[in-house]
Structure formats: C-alpha cells, structure tokens
Amino acid sequence: MIALNYNKTFFLKSYAKMTDIEIKDGVEIAFIGYSNSGKSSVINALTNQKKLVRFSKTPGRTQLINFFEVCSDFRMVDLPGYGYAKAPIFIQSKWQKIIYNYLKNRNEIKVFVLIMDIRHPLKKLDKKIIDIALNKKVFILILLNKCDKLKMAQCQKQFKIVYEQLRLFLHSMEILLFSSYKKIGIQKCQLILNNFYNLYITKHQ
C-alpha cells in the first residue's frame, strides 16, 4: 500500500475547454462544489500548501479547469465553482455545461470530491453532481467543509441530515466533516484517495 506524498503537489496546467486537455491516463480526483464552498482552500489544506491554488475574496474567479499533479499517475483537478450568483446567467450556464461535460466524459476521474458548506448542504446543483456520479458509477467523497463555523452538536446534526438524505447511495460514497481552517478531516480524506491510487496501480502494473 503506497501512501501518496501530497506535500509534493504542484500546478500542472489549466484548460478552458475539455477538448484541449491532452493529459491522459492515471487517476484524476475532481474537486467540485458551489463557488465559495471552499474548493481551493480544501486542495491547499490537503496538500499542506498555502498558495497552491489561488483563492480570492471574489468567488467565481476560477474559470478554468486546473490540474495539479501529486505524482505522475495521480492528479487533483480544481473545477470552476458553480452557482456564482453575481455572474451573468449565460456565463453561469456556459460554465455549468463545461463542468458537466468534463465530469460525464472524462474517464480518468475516479473520485468526485464534492465540497459543501456544512451550513448549506445538498443544494440543487450538488444533487445534480451526485446524479452524474451515480450514473457514471464513480465514488463520491462528500466534504462538509467549514465545520469550524458550527458547534460539534450542530455539525453532527448536519451530518445526520446529509446521511439520511443519501441513505440509499452510501455504498458508493463517504461523508466527512471537514475544515480546511482547522485541518479537520484531512487525514481521512488522504487515506481514501490513497486507496483509489493503489487500486489503479494494482490494475496497471
């Protein structure tokens, strides 16, 4: 069992369109969520780096598909956030299409990491992402991020709400309390991703 060294992650390349992506094979982990849910902060926390993924106070700024390499066969992909209310509708729907297209058609994706603000879980577009993953039979790792914002009892209550709503699908997903600020859930998340890497290399050696 190989443990990945997440600290060595580096920025690989950005793409505006799926058809431009020339990277192939290996394991890809797609980071998905509403803009401002904390995708960039989560990737920075997982890789123990402060500025690997630029994040700004202006949500919705990431408008590219950004690839980060953990090792030669394992990449993290930061997708544009969906549902940025201040962006014009046509821009929103354009980006939604790019995200859906990438998630549906990219075979390298082995895990969807769906990031939600623990205070507002399972919004409309989150459910759509879950549908795509279930149809594709891809594992979903749900991170209830910003759990530092709530007391433990409230965190558990929110966890239970999400757990109950997804009860039928728990065979292909895992739900974790997470905080990129307080570094909660990082190790568990890394272990789960390590498993997918090991599955891949066992099949391909």
Ligand X SMILES: Nc1nc2c(ncn2[C@@H]2O[C@H](COP(=O)(O)OP(=O)(O)O)[C@@H](O)[C@H]2O)c(=O)[nH]1
d(CA 115, CA 180): 11
From the list 111, 177, 104, the residue with the least C-alpha distance to 147 is 177
Given the rule CB under 6 A, which of 104-112, 135-143, 144-152, 196-204 is the region that contacts ligand X? 144-152
Residue 145 engages Mg ion in binding (rule: CB under 5 A): no
Q: Kindly report the number of other CB atoms within 10 A of residue 119's CB atom.
A: 14
Residue 145 engages ligand X in binding (rule: CB under 6 A): yes
Residue 40 engages Mg ion in binding (rule: CB under 5 A): yes
Determine what percent of the chain falls in helix, strand and coil, rounding each to the nearest 5.
40, 25, 35
Asked if 39 contacts 81 with a C-beta cutoff of 8 angstroms, the reply is yes
Q: How far is the CB of 138 from ligand X (least distance, A)?
A: 20
Residue closer to Mg ion, measured from CB, 37 or 158 = 37
Residue closer to ligand X, measured from CB, 36 or 92 = 36
Q: Please state the φ and ψ torsions of residue 35, each to the nearest 5 degrees.
A: -65, 135
String marking each residue 31-70 x if it binds ligand X according to CB under 6 A: --x-xxxxxxx-------------x---x-----------
Residue 92 engages ligand X in binding (rule: CB under 6 A): no
